[in-house]
Amino acid sequence: MTISNTARRPAVPHSVPKSAGRPAQEPTKKASSRRWRNLVWVLPAASLLCIFAYLPLMQNLGFSMLKWDIYSGRQTFVGADNYIKMFNDPIFWRSLLNNTLYAGISIVFQVFGALILAAMVEGLRSERWRGILRAIYFVPSAISLTVAGLLFYFIYEPRMGILNAALEFVGLGNITQAWLGQENTAIFGIVAMSQWQGFGYCTLLFAVALQRIPSELYEAASIDGVGPFRRFFSISLPLVREMSSLMMIVTVSGAFQVFNEVMVMTTGGPNNSSQVLGTWLYRSGFVRNDFGYAAAIATAVFIITLVLAVLQLRLSKHRRVQW
């Protein structure tokens, strides 16, 4: 996301026909009005974003300072009350903890795990098998989180699910349980599904990054008698470091926006144990009818994702590795 490139480009030259024979530095009135008319190219995109993204973002700040009953329509200004309430709300903290857990586990599996996996796949000699495995691993990412969530809801289901049946089959019958029905396992069940669904996507991206490393580097290392482990740590890892940082931020940012799978699998239960910020926001606003409080949670999500986005932007600026 390098934004700076175009800004440094000379602004005028290519839009003024060379044959026109007038100096480009002194645009005539006609040329400058044409320049304004050119805004029509960006107008649809810019206005869509202003109206449906930036305006609601601003409004959200205002809404978060209201006590607002959506059905009666009554609004009262309450200042920071919603935020104070949020800081004293154990379920808010529980949700934040679950999001953090989500982020942590996803970094382990979808960043480090996927990187190692991509190195394994790309280390195979057969190009055909590399392609087949990359494609197979990606399939869960192509299906919706709703389908994946429902599928794992059934997999965890105690009577018909395959997880408990498989555990019994391998002699672990004593740890079978209603995975999504218990407070201490529900969120882990959801996170596990999410790893299954998302690891292939990250593996694919790392595979692309690894392919861009010139093969001469590996060949030279092989000739020098460097083994596969050292090749991974001394060549692959440093050269995909920036990709890893970017993936880490994308993963963490995604983990703080989780909604779909929790909604489908547990709706935040049992007893709010698997609640995340997204579902708690939804429940506060649309089930408990407290729009002002929901807007305050939205502000918290905004601050978290904004910080991550700024980090991502700074990383992408000095992203290019020279080789």
66-105: contacts with another protein (CB under 8 A): none
Among 52, 87, 93, 323, binds another protein (CB under 8 A): 52
Tell me the number of residues near another protein by CB under 8 A: 104
Output the smallest distance, CB 174 to another protein, in A. Answer: 19
The structure tokens listed for 6 are 């175009």
CA dist., res. 8 & res. 5, Å (int)? 6
Beta bridge partners of 67: 76
Tell me the chain's radius of gyration from C-alpha atoms. Answer: 26
Smallest gap from residue 183 Cβ to another protein (A): 23
Of residues 139-198, which lie at the interface with another protein (CB under 8 A)? Answer: 139-140, 142-147, 150-152, 154-155, 159-162, 165, 196
Phi-psi region for residue 104, left (φ > 0), alpha (ψ -120 to 50) or beta? Answer: alpha
- Widest pairwise Cα distance in the chain: 87
CA distance 130 to 135: 9
Task: Output 220 or 313, the one with its CB closest to another protein.
Answer: 313
**Is 171 in contact with 285 (CB distance < 8 Å)?**
no
Q: Which of 120, 172, 220, 287 binds another protein (CB under 8 A)?
A: 120
- Nearest approach, Cβ of 265 to another protein (angstroms)? 11
Name which of 86 and 133 has its Cβ closer to another protein. 133
Nearer to another protein, 182 or 211 (CB): 211
Of the candidate spans 39-47, 82-90, 100-108, 177-185, the one that interacts with another protein by CB under 8 A turns out to be: 39-47
- Residue 159 Cβ vs another protein, minimum distance, rounded to whole Å: 6
Closest distance of CB 15 from another protein, Å: 4
Q: Which is nearer to another protein, 27 or 270 (CB)?
A: 27
Q: What is the 3-state secondary structure (H, E, C) of 290-304?
A: CHHHHHHHHHHHHHH
Evaluate whether 185 touches 100 at the Cβ level (below 8 Å): no
Q: Does 115 bind another protein (CB under 8 A)?
A: no
Instruction: Scan residues 221-240 and list those touching another protein (CB under 8 A).
Output: 227-228
The candidate with the shortest Cα–Cα distance to 239, out of 126, 139, 321, is: 321
Chain residues 276-305 in contact with another protein, contact rule CB under 8 A = 277-278, 281-282, 285-286, 291, 294-295, 298-299, 301-302, 305
Site string for another protein, 260-279 (x = CB under 8 A): x--xx------------xx-
Name the minimum Å distance from CB 23 to another protein.
15
* Residue at token pair 């882990």: 188
Name the one residue in this structure whose structure tokens are 């645009």: 27
Binding another protein (rule: CB under 8 A), the pick from 103, 247, 252, 255 is 247
DSSP calls for 120-178: HHHT-S-HHHHHHHHHHHHHHHHS-HHHHHHHHHHHH-TTT-HHHHHHHHTT-GGG---
Q: How many CB atoms lie within 10 A of CB 34?
A: 13
> Is 53 an interacting residue with respect to another protein (CB under 8 A)?
yes
Tokens 């606003």 -> residue:
285
Instruction: Kindly state whether residue 112 participates in binding another protein, applying the rule CB under 8 A.
Output: no
